[in-house]
Chain A
């Protein structure tokens, strides 16, 4: 009896310790970035674990640069457009791949999956030529274009899986009610796909927001850059000086929107929305 209790206690403590270790491991870098962003000058190189100074100077100077502000706008534009386009194509493709029986459906799905396996570097030069041909070089639209290409396979695949899980009777009920496939998709399926759309949309957004290689390659001037590149290119007064304060402030500024988005959508990433459709 006592041993059983002891084992339970040890188990609980072990679980708690593991959890704290993981928490520390994941959250600490961001926490330290926030900490550092409030410091300036030589304070930067003092190791603190708590907020000792509260100085918004770094934020002021980072947000004072018009190129950085425009890069934030670029990032927002590029990420939201890429997500919106990927969702539009993804949902319609998922309807076809998930609900319509046609020859070669499996093959199409495998090709879609195969495309997502290409490393970015492998297609970089080819894509560069395409973007030059479309005259999109040094334009955020080039990034919308390329990010859509890279998020679509994932979006299609995940949405197809979700779409397949929706009960067949629901679709048949809509058909009997006289709904066309488009109406069925938009009025019946999409409202039920909320969690799936939130999940895929969020992941696609984060991928687009953080993307670096394409953003670096396809843009040239500071006012066309997106945030990851802009941060990487922040330089100090001399070649040997890294402006840590500015870097950290910029990182915090661009991470906060993501955190907020996740917090908003995590409520929607709860399944059980289909409860009551069929017997339950």
Chain B
């Protein structure tokens, strides 16, 4: 149990900068998820914390001590690898006990710890098996067991579920969440799967191109993405990002935005740094919109309707946009392809980004918190 602090961490391979000046603090007992597209440096960041890679610059602190030059063992970390990396010639018992034995713990103690770990992970009946006799989920549990047997201060997970099939992944996700509740240890988890990130994390770190885009709770990332990248990355189906133009600003209060295909909307955002006529982007989640049928000459054309059973996705063609706009509708959905519809959205629910992709600060912050609370308790 310990907090982790990264200070101005840099990592370059040759001429390529993988991690650019990352500052991050992970609190004691927190479950933090690094998420981002492939190649964003999330695994490298995890390996830096593990001690499997050395930072080019910067310091890593664990529990207030600088550990940059220490080995993984001295740092007190346990790690679960994507490919499990179990020792194939050892039984489950020996796999879990390997690190303990190297610690020169006495035999009785090793047995006690292994059995305790096995019990937590429901591996007791499998202790004498070899890894090749186990299923994917069981192997993954052994890998977790091996990482936690030495009771590390920090547990690191490198995309642990990506080799499992979909149903097993959901099951293991729940088990990892339960494990965290039970152990209360600091966990850092890398994934490219945003569902895993949203469901497991106390705090999500969104990485992009080697720098941190945003740090926040799943709720914060979903409700108030700080940048276009986060807005597009978190949420499924993706947030619709629609080009817009600033019409008129009243600094510190609100801004009138002409949204392509939706007309002019007033949003309570501070756009004082933007001139009238500037291009910007408005983000609109598929679930925060309403559709109403319009006349044959107005509105947007419905290109496709996907029926998913519990909901339906309506795809609209927006003039001036390459991508289709996605709208979530409840079922039964009356809208058919070929019809024309009007797109309505609550201005409160709009996300507004300037030309650099930064979110415009909200004005009615207190109001926002109220509604946040409401939704949270929902």
Residues of A whose CB lies within 8 Å of any CB of B are 167, 169-170, 172-179, 183, 187-188, 191-192, 273-280
- Given A172-B52, A173-B79, A192-B89, are A276 and B132 also a contact pair (CB < 8 Å)? yes
Residues of B within 8 A of A174 (CB): 87, 98
Contact A173 B81 (CB under 8 A): yes
Name the A residues within 8 Å of B77 (CB-CB). 176
Q: Are B85 and A178 closer than 8 Å at their CB atoms?
A: no
- Of A167, A174, A177, A278, most buried by chain B (CB within 10 Å of CB) is A177
B362 at the interface (CB under 8 A from A): no
Q: In the complex where A169-B81, A279-B163 touch, is A177 in contact with B86 (Cβ < 8 A)?
A: no
* Smallest CB gap from B83: residue in A: A278
CB distance from A232 to the nearest CB of B (A): 44
Closest to B52 in A: A172
Give the docked Cα–Cα distance between A276 and B138 (Å): 11
Q: Provide the residues of chain A in CB contact with B72, threshold 8 Å.
A: 175-176, 178
Closest to A173 in B: B85
With A175-B52, A177-B102, A178-B72 as known contacts, state yes or no: A274 contacts B83, CB within 8 Å.
no
Contact call B146/A173, Cβ cutoff below 8 A: yes
Measured between alpha carbons, how far is A183 from B52 in the docked complex, in Å? 17
Given contacts A169-B85, A178-B73, A191-B89, 5 further A-B contacts (CB under 8 A): A173-B79, A177-B150, A276-B86, A276-B131, A277-B86
Measured between alpha carbons, how far is A187 from B88 in the docked complex, in Å? 11
A177–B85 contact, CB under 8 A?
no
Interface centre among A173, A174, A277, A279 (most CB of B within 10 A): A173
Asked, given contacts A169-B83, A278-B83, whether A177 binds B132 with beta carbons under 8 Å apart, the answer is: no
Question: With A and B bound together, what is the CA distance between A174 and B88 in angstroms?
Answer: 12
Which residues in A have their C-beta under 8 angstroms from that of B103? 178
Q: Are A172 and B81 in contact (CB under 8 A)?
A: yes
How far, in angstroms, from A188 to B89 measured CA to CA in the complex? Answer: 8
**Chain A residues in 8 Å Cβ range of B136:** 279
Q: Compute how far the CA of A170 lies from the CA of B87 in the bound complex, rounded to whole angstroms.
A: 7
Say how far A184's CB is from chain B's closest CB, in angstroms.
Answer: 10
A170 neighbours in B (Cβ, 8 Å)? 85, 87
What are 23 A-B contacts with C-beta separation under 8 Å?
A169-B81, A169-B82, A170-B87, A172-B79, A173-B146, A175-B73, A176-B52, A176-B77, A176-B99, A176-B147, A177-B98, A177-B99, A177-B146, A177-B150, A178-B71, A178-B72, A179-B98, A179-B102, A192-B88, A274-B88, A275-B88, A276-B88, A277-B131
Q: Is B134 an interface residue (CB 8 A)?
A: yes
Residue numbers in B under 8 Å from A192 (CB-CB): 88-89
A279–B146 touching, CB < 8 Å: no
Per-residue A-contact encoding for B86-109, CB less than 8 Å = 1, 0 else = 111100000000110011000000
CA of A52 to CA of B346, assembled, Å: 105
**Interchain CA distance A277-B133 in the complex, whole Å:** 11
Is B84 among interface residues, defined by CB-CB distance under 8 A?
Answer: yes
Binding site for A on B (CB under 8 A): 50, 52, 71-73, 77-79, 81-89, 98-99, 102-103, 130-134, 136, 139, 146-147, 150, 163
Q: A176-B52, A179-B102 are in contact. Are A276 and B73 (CB under 8 A)?
A: no
Looking across the interface, which residue of chain B has its beta carbon closest to that of A188?
Answer: B87
- Chain B residues in 8 Å Cβ range of A279: 83-84, 136, 163
Complex CA–CA separation, A177 to B85 (angstroms): 12
Whether A273 contacts B89 by the Cβ 8 Å rule is yes
Given B73, B83, B86, B139, which contacts A176 in the complex, CB threshold below 8 Å? B73
Complex Cα distance, B163 from A163, in Å, reads 25
Distance, CA A177 to CA B110, complexed state (A): 14
Cβ-closest chain B residue relative to A177: B99
Instruction: Contact check, A276 vs B163: say whether CB atoms are below 8 A apart.
Output: no
Would you call A277 and B78 a contact (CB within 8 A)?
Answer: no
Q: How far is the CA of A178 from the CA of B163 in the complex (A)?
A: 26
**Residue with the highest number of chain A CB atoms closer than 10 Å, among B83, B133, B134, B163:** B83
Given A276-B134, A277-B131, residue A175 in contact with residue B71 (CB < 8 A): yes
Measured CA separation A187–B134 after assembly (Å): 21
Query: Which chain A residue lies CB-closest to B50?
Result: A176
CA–CA, A175 to B75, complex, Å?
12
For B52, the chain A residues whose CB sits under 8 A away are: 172, 175-176
Task: Tell me, rounded to whole Å, the shortest Cβ–Cβ distance linking B190 to chain A.
Answer: 14
Q: Provide the bound-state CA to CA distance between A172 and B50, in Å.
A: 10
Cα distance, A183 to B104, chains bound together (Å): 13
Complex-state Cα separation, A278 to B132, whole angstroms: 9
- Complex CA gap A176/B53 in Å reads 12
The reply to whether B102 and A178 form a contact with Cβ atoms under 8 Å apart is yes
Partner of B85, one of A179, A191, A277: A277
Closest 4 CB pairs of A and B: A276-B132, A178-B73, A169-B85, A177-B99
Q: Which residues of B contact A277 (CB under 8 A)?
A: 84-88, 131
- A278: B residues at CB distance < 8 A: 83-85
Q: What A residues does B133 contact at CB under 8 A?
A: 276
A198 to chain B, nearest CB (A): 15
Measured CB to CB, the nearest residue on chain B to A279 is B163
Q: Give complex CA distance A174, B98 in Å.
A: 9
Q: Please, which residues of chain A bring their CB within 8 A of the CB of B83?
A: 167, 169, 278-279
Report the Cα distance A48→B26, complex, angstroms: 85
B134 and A167 contact, CB distance less than 8 A: no
CA distance A176 to B147 in the complex (A): 8
